[in-house]
Amino acid sequence: MFKEILKNVQEKTPLVHCITNYVTVNDVANVLLACGGSPIMADDINDAEDITSICNALVINIGTLNERTIATMLNTGKKANALSHPAVLDPVGAGASALRTSAAFKLLETVNFSVIRGNISEIKTISHGSGTTKGVDADVSDAITEKNLDEAISFAKKLSARTDSIIVITGAIDIVADAQKAYIVRNGHPLMSKVSGTGCMLTAIIAAYCAANSDNMLEAAAAAVCVMGLSGEMAYDRLIRTDGGTSSYRIYIIDAVGKMNGEVLEGGMKVESR
Amino acid sequence: MFKEILKNVQEKTPLVHCITNYVTVNDVANVLLACGGSPIMADDINDAEDITSICNALVINIGTLNERTIATMLNTGKKANALSHPAVLDPVGAGASALRTSAAFKLLETVNFSVIRGNISEIKTISHGSGTTKGVDADVSDAITEKNLDEAISFAKKLSARTDSIIVITGAIDIVADAQKAYIVRNGHPLMSKVSGTGCMLTAIIAAYCAANSDNMLEAAAAAVCVMGLSGEMAYDRLIRTDGGTSSYRIYIIDAVGKMNGEVLEGGMKVESR
Amino acid sequence: MFKEILKNVQEKTPLVHCITNYVTVNDVANVLLACGGSPIMADDINDAEDITSICNALVINIGTLNERTIATMLNTGKKANALSHPAVLDPVGAGASALRTSAAFKLLETVNFSVIRGNISEIKTISHGSGTTKGVDADVSDAITEKNLDEAISFAKKLSARTDSIIVITGAIDIVADAQKAYIVRNGHPLMSKVSGTGCMLTAIIAAYCAANSDNMLEAAAAAVCVMGLSGEMAYDRLIRTDGGTSSYRIYIIDAVGKMNGEVLEGGMKVESR
């Protein structure tokens, strides 16, 4: 099934409008092209509504938010809803500052997100209204392990029921859940945490996957998570054959996303559902 | 002749002020260094006038424009004109939103651009006031082919006469035209469309080339187009010898721009004039 | 000693808040991860105070400053001082525009910086109130050479005494000075000047090094300068074994920062004190 999901992305070339942070925006643009989509960035309130109208999905990433762009996010999110475009929220650093936490909540009140993707600390903030986010990284004490996995899955399903959004929690083990069903993904490599923006990139890929598979978004999001994790593994295999470091690794990850196909994906994905 | 044009850039190290989008700005900075120029970015209205005064050329790229930076673009463009610096416009996404289209027109009314570079949909928007831009990519129905090439050249020449700007239309076939003469360039590789920012990079190179060859801007712009296209070809040749993908390709393109010299350029360029 | 300084960074993973330009911000984020730190970017005045509170150091880089972010820089700098976090100033382009020069002076009046890092033209502007900065590059006439080195060291020490900041002047020869003592570093490679952002990256590394070695900041800053320079050398050695150019070189530099360890550092650093 994931094979068809990937094929739909490559055939439909979904155009993804990103209101995203300026730290990782170039990687987000290039990974969207690599995965079979197409990016466009626009954050002025008078530009974003038109731009989202010609797109197939919207990413809202609050990584370097400011007062001006928060207004654009709220307004454009409503427009995406009106157009029935999938909207994906990446609450970067929610819990790390009052502004980020409040912006995330305002967005959740105003916009119906098809998917919310974050690390466990950010998602806990979304759920509980406060978190222990260590900057843009998850707090170690929050980490999802095999031991607390059932609990984490149950948490994700309940949050999905409450928000009516697919919840994607990424870390060493990834969870992709709606109210009824969760995919657990064990792809990826620890070195990915030494590359800035792997989360932002995944969020954008999820948006492209959901846009091209709008009647099957849970599986689309799970497939996107597998694609990113498997790309991280393939890139690592390539890295150790060269004398590269983390910056080469970043390049290789995007390369691997671009070379992914259905056979490789279904051969390499480590996914189960519960 | 193109050999001397390239040499002038490398000898004069033109300083190029870029008011450009935050998606591809790092590639623009690095490709300017690679081609023999030097970049400086400044977009605050109180900063940009001073900065442009110490530069040799100005790039205005509307890729992630906002109300604040539009004002800076207009003001700085006038200053560049007063200083007789070449100003180059990249109307990214003109036709895709009312704000982008109107900003492009305001810029054209206020500033004399030496060169306007865009894809065919953006340039049609500049000409007709509306377009069918698919986001930041050209609409397929607009594409310049061998069949409609004469028509496209005639269109470019007329638009050049009307705007008093050199018109650069990039795609599978590139056109560089003033009112009397057009260069047709057939360098480049289709994979370049899978790298975000190749258009933005070319616009910046054109500015550096025009600054260093201000009495010969049509040929300078044509040489810049050949440099970018040929770099794309050389990077592709290198790519297929490795196991890289589109992100490696982006790196290799900038590498190739930096290694370009007069002999390689004149040996590899595929250019004619009509 | 530098070996222990490096080890402290890798063990403490200092979180560095960067208010920095959007040109090189991705490289700054990735080089912070590579050197053993962790980055977070926030530039809204209502976000930055909270964010800096959870961090260990602050970088203020005025590369693409605007009215909004200048206010954030001033406010956040004061907060970092109140928290006794090391604050590092990178006065990019000070001397090139009235806004940049005045912003640099306002910052120096308002914030106590642990370190100020710039090229010689920027640092002369900091000292004299005016400079001959050629954009973001140093003016050749200002360059520190073996001939004027003693004079430059004396200048740096006096400026350090006056500003109560460690002064880092980078170029072919680097100087790291407080009022009493100066380290002279002769690592690095000329090709680094063809990569946008090596200065910005170094500034961020200095912040991470000072945060993890707060009782020994002069040596921490000197070690950071050695790490960056030596990484440039190692990256160059790797570059000439491949057919890469300046864009590959950028990747290789960040790779090398990530692979640096105490033995390699102490074996390769070219440092003396006067």
**B24 vs A contacts (CB less than 8 Å):** 26, 29
Determine contact: B93 vs chain A, CB below 8 A.
Answer: yes
Cβ within 8 Å, pair C40-A93: yes
| Mutation site for C-interface testing, chosen from B255, B257, B259, B264 by largest number of C Cβ within 10 Å | B255
Q: What is the CATH number of domain B2-273?
A: 3.40.1190.20
* Closest Cβ opposite residue B26 in set C136, C196, C245: C196
* Closest Cβ opposite residue A29 in set B23, B66, B244: B23
- The rounded distance, in Å, linking the Cα atoms of B228 and B211 is 17
- Which chain A residue's Cα is nearest to B248? A251
**C21 vs B contacts (CB less than 8 Å):** 41
For B149, other C-beta atoms within 10 Å of its C-beta total 15
Cβ within 8 Å, pair C97-B50: yes
Contact A270, A233 (CB under 8 A): no
Contact A207, A16 (CB under 8 A): yes
The helix or strand, by DSSP H or E, that contains position C17, with its residue range, turns out to be strand C15-19
* Closest Cβ opposite residue C25 in set A22, A93, A96: A22
Residue A57, Ramachandran bin (φ over 0: left; ψ between -120 and 50: alpha; else beta): beta
Nearest-CA distance B78 → chain A (Å) = 23
pTM for this model (two decimals)? 0.97
Cβ within 8 Å, pair A196-C39: yes
Enumerate the β-bridge partners of residue A58.
A17, A87
Give the Å distances, CA to CA, from B111 to B44, B78, B161, B215.
18, 6, 16, 19
- Chains touching B (3+ CB pairs < 8 Å): A, C
pLDDT digits (tens, 9 = 90+) for C211-243: 999 999 999 999 999 999 999 999 999 999 998
pLDDT in tens, chain A (274 residues): 999 999 999 999 999 999 999 999 999 999 999 999 999 999 999 999 999 999 999 999 999 999 999 999 999 999 999 999 999 999 999 999 999 999 999 999 999 999 999 999 999 999 987 655 556 677 777 899 999 999 999 999 999 999 999 999 999 999 999 999 999 999 999 999 999 999 999 999 999 999 999 999 999 999 999 999 999 999 999 999 998 999 999 999 999 999 999 999 999 999 999 9
pLDDT digits (tens, 9 = 90+) for B128-150: 876 555 566 777 678 999 999 99
Nearest-CA distance A159 → chain C (Å) = 26
pLDDT digits (tens, 9 = 90+) for A134-185: 566 777 778 999 999 999 999 999 999 999 999 999 999 999 999 999 999 9
Is C263's pLDDT higher than 70? yes
ipTM of the complex, rounded to two decimals? 0.96
Nearest-CA distance C226 → chain A (Å) = 19
Is C132's pLDDT higher than 70? no
Determine contact: B208 vs chain C, CB below 8 A.
Answer: no
**A135 vs C contacts (CB less than 8 Å):** 15, 38, 40, 51, 54-55
pLDDT at C139: 72
Query: Can you spell out the DSSP letters for A27-52?
Result: HHHHHHHHHT-EEEE--SHHHHHHHH
Determine contact: A50 vs chain B, CB below 8 A.
Answer: yes
pLDDT band at C135 (very low <50, low <70, confident <90, very high): low
**C26 vs A contacts (CB less than 8 Å):** 23-24, 26-27, 196-197
Nearest-CA distance C177 → chain B (Å) = 28
